[in-house]
Amino acid sequence: MKAIFMGTPEFAIPSFEALYESDFEIALVVTQPDRPKGRGKKLSSPPVKLVALEHDIEVFQPERIKDREAIEKIKRVKPDLIIVVAFGQILPKEILELPRYGCINVHASLLPKYRGAAPINFAIINGEKKTGVTTMYMEEGLDTGDMLLKNEVEITPEDTASTLHDKLAIAGKKTLSDTLKAIINTELLPEKQDDSISSYAPIMTKELGKINWDRSAEAISNLVRGTDPWPSAYTLYDSAVLKLFAPVVLDKQSKEKPGTIVAVSSEGIDIASADYIVRIKEIQISGKKRMPVGEFLKGNVLEIGKVLGYE
């Protein structure tokens, strides 16, 4: 039985491994074109392309999967199954209806929650205690297809979008592996999504990272962690953008105006919020690398009482 794998970033690699280790033969890998990257703007290959070439699997990189040439390329393979994981393009109906076992997507949320582009980030930003991975049949709607299998993943107070990404990528491999076995054994029981309890996780923007210190300490911590490493939470310091990382909510309160620095030490910068104090343990100023506050303080003096985020 032949399968096509469609995916692009690091997140998709464990799922690629699940398909590679299954009873399906990967006849083709479809991924995004090579793109310029870094200061030198050198062409960089998608991670999925690199792992496919390591396994001597043909790679196809269409600019637009909806182009006639791309559709015909897929049709010539005559796939029994198509697996899609963070591919980055919307599939046309003609491809969705092609394989006899359907097109199956590995999505990084517990559907119907957090459909859309940034489910990992918004699960943290919105203060969820758990998230997970869902496999589902793909249809023309955005992440609206029938659900197949799920795996839950705990969100800890220390998790960032980066660490949760890695946990969910691993969970994705297991979820897809179990889904593929269920396909072979005709054990799948698709479940329709309840649209009334669905939510949407839009594309991340830099503007989303601006901190409102009038919010609760927990909400601020969630924003900082959910935007780490990109686009990063930020505030203003002497009119310069100061990016903040590694927050800790202290069991302390302050009568100072939200956004006021109430203490500074090598442990971090303590800032008042609407309720409790938020300690920021890592920061980054434009043009410099991200660093622990203790290292930053060696060359910078912060005045106690300086108000951040207010002009």
- Counted residue by residue, the chain has a size of 311
Instruction: Report the pLDDT value the prediction gives residue 300, as an integer from 0 to 100.
Output: 63
pLDDT of residue 252: 96
- Look at residue 209 in the predicted model and tell me its pLDDT: 97
pLDDT given for residue 32 in this prediction: 97
Residue 268 near residue 291, CB atoms below 8 Å:
no
**What residues of the chain score a pLDDT lower than 70?**
299-311
- Provide the whole-model pTM: 0.94
CA–CA dist 90, 95 (Å, integer) = 10
Express each pLDDT in 50-77 by its tens digit. 999 999 999 999 999 999 999 999 999 9
CA nearest neighbour of 74 among 172, 168, 134, 5: 5
How far apart are the C-alpha atoms of 152 and 115, rounded to whole Å?
16
pLDDT for the residue numbered 301: 54
3 state DSSP class of 148: strand
CB atoms within 10 A of CB 260: 21
pLDDT at 304: 43
Is 53 in a helix, a strand, or coil? helix
**DSSP E strands: which ranges in 169-220?**
200-201
